[in-house]
Structure 1
Amino acid sequence: MMKRRNFNALLAAAAATGLLGPTLSACGSSGSSGAGSDTFTIWDYESDDSAMGQAWARAIEIFKEQHPEVTVKIEDQTFEQLQKNAKIVLTGDDVPDIMEYNKGNSTSGQLASQGLIEPLTEQATERGWDAKLAASLQTTARYSEDGLMGDGDWYGVPNYGEYVFVYYNQDMFDAQGLSVPTTLEEFEAVCDAFVAAGQIPLAEAGSEYPMGQLWYQLVLAHADRSFVNAYQLFEGDVDWTADPIKAGTDKLVEWIDKGYVAADSAGLTAEDAGTAFINGSYPMFVSGSWWFGRIVGDMADKNWDQFLFPGTELFPGSSGNLWVVPTNAKNKELAYDFIDITLSDEVQAILGEKGGLPVSGDPSTIEDEKTRTMTDNFARINEQDGLAFYPDWPVAGFYDQIVSAMQSLINGSKTGDEVLADLRSAYDEGKADMGIEG
């Protein structure tokens, strides 16, 4: 049977029994799920009708078929609740057997460095997870003793992905006699044609992530994997006065000056930009696969499609959230079995069919053409190790710094060089706060 209970109730119970008290710390015992060895407890924060929710529902059915003696209990929660409370709750004994958790230094890396989640390297090797996941996807699964992403043991396993690409309005392209660009120069020619016709080409948002991701994509168009590893994983120095960062920034300033981005976009949100594209106000929207389902539904009566940002082999994107196993979990072997199932061909196929970007499997089996294209492009990116993560990931607080920098560029209140000096200062301070020299 499947049961759900509210995460807030769990926190309240933990507080009442003293589990949230300051004297408790992480320990290496096997712990207890609080429900007995015949109950397998899952924490996740996906909606039932999402691609992940539907795929994992089937994974649970398969799990129950394989383990008929086990009761499966799913505990409702939210992304924000786990971000705030996971490291507190996981110090106690009333923990799940497996949970969905965010990737990155300040999330899964922190839990790993504090001994709150189980190392999974042995399981990844024995069960073949390392063979199913591309190298860039494995980056988000591995953490050093200090909790830095990309090195050390596996501490989580992703089973879906996400990435940034270009959504475009086919009717607006056709009206100008334009084709999908295959090089950066052709992309600029398309933008120039729209500007000449009095149409701003790019739906953008300066007050949230889209503009920063466009900036990073332009940097990546001049970069290679060594830059990504230096910028994201601190495997080398980042020169904020030279290419690829300077080339990408200069190109963005040029695009702003040429009118590719609306002058009022500095104050717009991602929702503003996305809905403006959906409503037909702009011909292109550079954003992520997380918009795909929304665009499919809201543009059902419009002629739209997608293409990879041209002129680069590196793209903003990463694995999705991770399955992690708490150190104090009672049923760790069952957790490993469940991860196996979520990576199975059947469950990965469901993810693909529902637009969830599976990390393995055959995209050609997906029936819907647009979903198959998005998934096939993601598979191609993985094959060439092309995921470059997100620009704000390296250090704490960098998201706000990037947003401020992009707004300054749109408003023209700072030059590209001034913005890069500000970003370098914030980046270096963040590294220093993490105890990283250089």
Structure 2
Amino acid sequence: MKRRTFVQAGLGLVTMSLMGGTAFSQEKKPISWWYETAAPENQEFLRTLVVAPFNEAHPDEQLTIDFRGSELDKQLRVAMLSGSGPDVVYTAGPSYVASMAQAGQLLPLDEFAASLGWNERILPVFIELGKYNGKLYALPKTYETLGLFFNKTLFDANGWAAPKTIAELETLADAMKAKNIVPFGAGNADWRPANEHYVSLVLNSVAGPDNLYKALKGEIPWTSEPFVAAIDTLNKWWQNGYFGPNYFSLTGEQAFAQVATGQAGMAPTGTWNFTNVPRYFPQNNAEPGFVGFPSAEGVDYPIYALGIGSTFSIAATSKNPEGAAEVIDYVFSDKFYGDMNTVWQGEWNTPLKDLSKVQVGAEVLPLYTETMKGLADAVNANQYGYTTWTFLPPATDTYIVSGIEEIWLGKLTTADFLAKLDETFKQEQSEGKVPAIPERV
């Protein structure tokens, strides 16, 4: 779920709706889907590539998409509690799915997965991630990773190379500061949980995915030394000014745009920002670059932290679960993958097992296809890291977002932050709220 950056389109909190075909007919079975904010051009892509063709292929049904903006998560929680939510439940990730499944708000998808061939069509790790207590409740809309975008044109002009180690990253950031260039193009004005992108980066690239796996399984506490080193490293970057002076006033998109203009040198962020590359880099005559985030000593490079930006489920109260399943099935088709990724990169990397039949347009940036292939290879080889919004339970994840700000602003120590994190995680673990953690090979 644009995890996570909601595209700003001047829509505010206004709910908008897309309906394909002719006026709504009471004779047709309605299928409702609530979506987050989308820019006008992306709303059009959803209309022409999802709504219209689905309704044409299913004349007895009527799919509608309502845009709920940045309030989607809140509105969805309230609606699900009252049983008035949409048929297609679009969540911010597995941590939300676990709590909804536990509350009986979601329909098990195992029968649909078997009858529609999802088990054969989707990468196995994502089938496992969608399970709760052995039953399948969700499929990911997209899988993503974190890394380092940079302005290759700026790098070439200054003789800089993309860093592979934390030491190289810090040396480069200091060199950028000396030239009045903000090292990290970053901002959370539109999406406060952007904070956890950076926490996820250091947990994987400093503490390492093996330690993360142990903590997620409850085998070591979150107060362990590797996590202390990770949070201390992130705080050092903040105190050194790597995030610049306007982090709290810039949106994620505005911050990313500064990388294209050369005001900032790098953007430690996720692959969802590929959607912003064609908006800003060409007009600034700049070439983009993307690499895995640098690693600390003793941690492999690159580490691709696995993230699920949003998920599809079906409401337990849906009056048309079969129709909702047909919508999800359409999204996981080869044709849809190719069509949507041609026009909207970074948001629709559905986890299809076999991409050999998928065709994308020639205009798609090779950097994007190369990055997605690298991520797919890492997942297939079971060599990946863990993003907080995908693998932590909801209260623990929420605490990371607020707690890291308190560290940055000098209101909390690393030790106190990790102690609270550990306490919250253990409580949710005892309540069965931790998402499924696939075995690490």
Deviating more after overlay: 184-193 vs 282-291: 184-193
* Alignment counterpart, residue 228 of structure 1, candidates 205, 212, 219: 212
Q: Does residue 120 of the first structure (1) align with residue 109 of the second (2)? A: yes
In structure 2, do the counterparts of structure 1 residues 235 and 218 end up closer, same or farther at CA, with 3 Å as the change threshold?
same
Q: Deviations over 1:1-47 (max 9, x none)?
A: xxxxx99899xxxxxxxxxxxxxxxxxxxxxxxx8784131213154
How big is the shift at 1:57? Answer: 4.1
Q: Using structure 1 for the length normalisation, give the TM-score.
A: 0.74
In structure 2, do the counterparts of structure 1 residues 280 and 295 end up closer, same or farther at CA, with 3 Å as the change threshold?
same
Query: What is the root-mean-square deviation of aligned Cα atoms in Å?
Result: 4.0
Contact map agreement 1:7 1:76 (CA 8 A) in 2:
no
Greater Rg by CA? 1
Aligned to 2:130: 141
Aligned to 1:163: 145
Aligned to 1:301: 283
Q: Does residue 394 of the first structure (1) align with residue 375 of the second (2)? A: no
Deviating more after overlay: 89-98 vs 186-195: 89-98
How big is the shift at 1:157? Answer: 1.8
Contact map agreement 1:181 1:310 (CA 8 A) in 2:
yes
SS at match of 2:30: strand
In structure 2, do the counterparts of structure 1 residues 278 and 115 end up closer, same or farther at CA, with 3 Å as the change threshold?
same
Contact map agreement 2:188 2:247 (CA 8 A) in 1:
yes
Q: Does residue 329 of the first structure (1) align with residue 328 of the second (2)? A: no
- Once the two structures are superposed, the pairs formed by residues 180-259 of structure 1 within 5 Å of their partners are 180-195=162-177, 197=179, 199-205=181-187, 208-210=192-194, 212-223=196-207, 225-232=209-216, 234-243=217-226, 245-253=227-235, 255=237, 259=240
* Alignment counterpart, residue 29 of structure 2, candidates 39, 42, 47: 39
Measured in 1, the distance between the counterparts of 2:136 and 2:102 equals 12
User: Which consecutive residues of structure 1, in runs of 5 or more, have no partner in the other structure?
Assistant: 1-5, 11-34, 145-151
How big is the shift at 1:297? Answer: 0.9
* % identity of equivalent residues: 17
Measured in 2, the distance between the counterparts of 1:136 and 1:264 equals 40
In structure 2, do the counterparts of structure 1 residues 58 and 229 end up closer, same or farther at CA, with 3 Å as the change threshold?
same
Deviating more after overlay: 341-350 vs 322-331: 322-331
Equivalent position amino acid for 2:73 in 1: Q
Equivalent position amino acid for 1:332 in 2: P
* Alignment counterpart, residue 376 of structure 1, candidates 373, 376, 383: 373
Q: Does residue 280 of the first structure (1) align with residue 262 of the second (2)? A: yes
SS at match of 2:33: strand
Measured in 2, the distance between the counterparts of 1:63 and 1:211 equals 37
Question: Aligned pairs, how many?
Answer: 394
Aligned to 1:408: 407
In structure 2, do the counterparts of structure 1 residues 206 and 176 end up closer, same or farther at CA, with 3 Å as the change threshold?
same
SS at match of 2:162: coil
Q: Using structure 2 for the length normalisation, give the TM-score.
A: 0.73
Measured in 1, the distance between the counterparts of 2:29 and 2:39 equals 21
SS at match of 2:145: strand
How big is the shift at 1:184? Answer: 4.3
Contact map agreement 2:204 2:385 (CA 8 A) in 1:
no
Measured in 2, the distance between the counterparts of 1:192 and 1:82 equals 39
In structure 2, do the counterparts of structure 1 residues 140 and 40 end up closer, same or farther at CA, with 3 Å as the change threshold?
farther
Q: Deviations over 1:308-357 (max 9, x none)?
A: 22344544452232222222323323332322221110001123212134
Equivalent position amino acid for 1:423 in 2: L
Measured in 1, the distance between the counterparts of 2:349 and 2:79 equals 30
How big is the shift at 1:374? Answer: 4.4
Aligned to 2:45: 54
Contact map agreement 1:206 1:265 (CA 8 A) in 2:
no
How big is the shift at 1:394? Answer: 3.3
In structure 2, do the counterparts of structure 1 residues 186 and 349 end up closer, same or farther at CA, with 3 Å as the change threshold?
same
How big is the shift at 1:280? Answer: 2.2
Equivalent position amino acid for 1:358 in 2: N
- Once the two structures are superposed, the pairs formed by residues 72-111 of structure 1 within 5 Å of their partners are 72-79=62-69, 82-86=72-76, 89-90=79-80, 96-105=86-95, 107-111=96-100
How big is the shift at 1:155? Answer: 0.9
How big is the shift at 1:429? Answer: 3.3
Aligned to 1:289: 271
User: Which consecutive residues of structure 2, in runs of 5 or more, have no partner in the other structure?
Assistant: 1-12, 18-24, 296-300, 435-441
Equivalent position amino acid for 2:395 in 1: A
In structure 2, do the counterparts of structure 1 residues 57 and 92 end up closer, same or farther at CA, with 3 Å as the change threshold?
farther
Contact map agreement 1:218 1:249 (CA 8 A) in 2:
yes
Aligned to 1:18: none
Measured in 1, the distance between the counterparts of 2:410 and 2:157 equals 32
Measured in 2, the distance between the counterparts of 1:395 and 1:357 equals 24
Equivalent position amino acid for 2:93 in 1: K
Aligned to 1:63: 54
Measured in 1, the distance between the counterparts of 2:386 and 2:207 equals 10
In structure 2, do the counterparts of structure 1 residues 169 and 80 end up closer, same or farther at CA, with 3 Å as the change threshold?
closer
Measured in 2, the distance between the counterparts of 1:157 and 1:396 equals 22
* Alignment counterpart, residue 173 of structure 1, candidates 146, 155, 169: 155
In structure 2, do the counterparts of structure 1 residues 407 and 198 end up closer, same or farther at CA, with 3 Å as the change threshold?
farther
Measured in 2, the distance between the counterparts of 1:59 and 1:8 equals 19
